[in-house]
Amino acid sequence: MRDPSNYIEPQQNYDLTTVERSVLEILAPGGLLTLDALARRTGRQVREVRRATNSLRAKNLAWANRRGQWSAAP
């Protein structure tokens, strides 16, 4: 479990699903993680994580590079 003091809440009030919130909490400290790594860390299926990351990208809360590594939006 992450230290809550390191987690930055999105400035806008987004309606996030449980999976989206879990993924965003893992991405918030920085670094680049693949869908497989996110799935392992959240304990969710890759399919669920893919749906969540795509939704977070649409809300401008996350982005992926060409290698499929995800990070929280700055």
Predicted confidence (pLDDT) per residue in 21-47, tens digit: 999 999 988 889 999 999 999 999 999
How large a percentage of the chain has pLDDT more than 70? Answer: 82
The confidence score (pLDDT) of residue 21 equals 95
* Nearest Cα to Cα of residue 52 among 25, 27, 17, 15: 17
Q: Where are the domains of the chain?
A: 16-72
Confirm or reject CATH 1.25.40.10 for domain 16-72, answering yes or no: no
- How many distinct helices (H) and strands (E) make up the chain? 3, 2
Mean pLDDT of 60-65: 96
Flag whether the pTM goes above 0.85: no
List the one residue out of 1, 47, 7 whose CA is nearest residue 25.
Answer: 7
Task: For residues 1-28, give the mean pLDDT.
Answer: 72
Q: What is the DSSP letter of 34?
A: -
